[in-house]
Amino acid sequence: MTESSLQRYYSPWQICVAAAIGSPLASGYLASRNYALFKAPSKATAALLVSVGVFIALLAVGYSLPKGTSGTILAGVVAGAYKWHAQVAFAPEIARLRTEGWSSHSWWRVIGLSLAILVAIAVLGFVILLLLGDHAA
């Protein structure tokens, strides 16, 4: 087996699902891994930083929404935006690499990473609320 047949990337759909399950932080991580794999380390760093910014912006929007308002549509828009970006940024390179035997990572890996990031966010949020005590309410 050649080295290139062992190489794997994250597909645009996998990046989209990561955004839906694990927030922009998960999809930003997957996109950054693709950028690093495709020899664009500065774009990998930018993908992580932008995803942190998007996550913080979503938190701010979420807190400003009226009580009882669902954020599902907003989450869908963000996931769609990440898929669109991944399609534009990665599809040509993925198409080329597929001819060389590359394939996408397992969906189990994508779901597992996304859930791990979601749990980490929840734990961090819980710890922050615990430390803030009555001031957070």
pLDDT tens digits, one per residue of 58-68: 999 988 888 88
Give the pLDDT mean for 15-30.
Answer: 96
d(CA 66, CA 63): 8
Q: Give the mean pLDDT of the chain.
A: 91
Strands (E), 1-137: 8-9, 103-104
pTM of the model as a whole: 0.88
CA 80 to chain centre: 11
Q: Are 44 and 30 in contact (CB under 8 A)?
A: no
Sign of the torsion formed by the C-alpha atoms of 4, 37, 55 and 92: negative
Domains of the chain, by residue range, sit at: 9-136
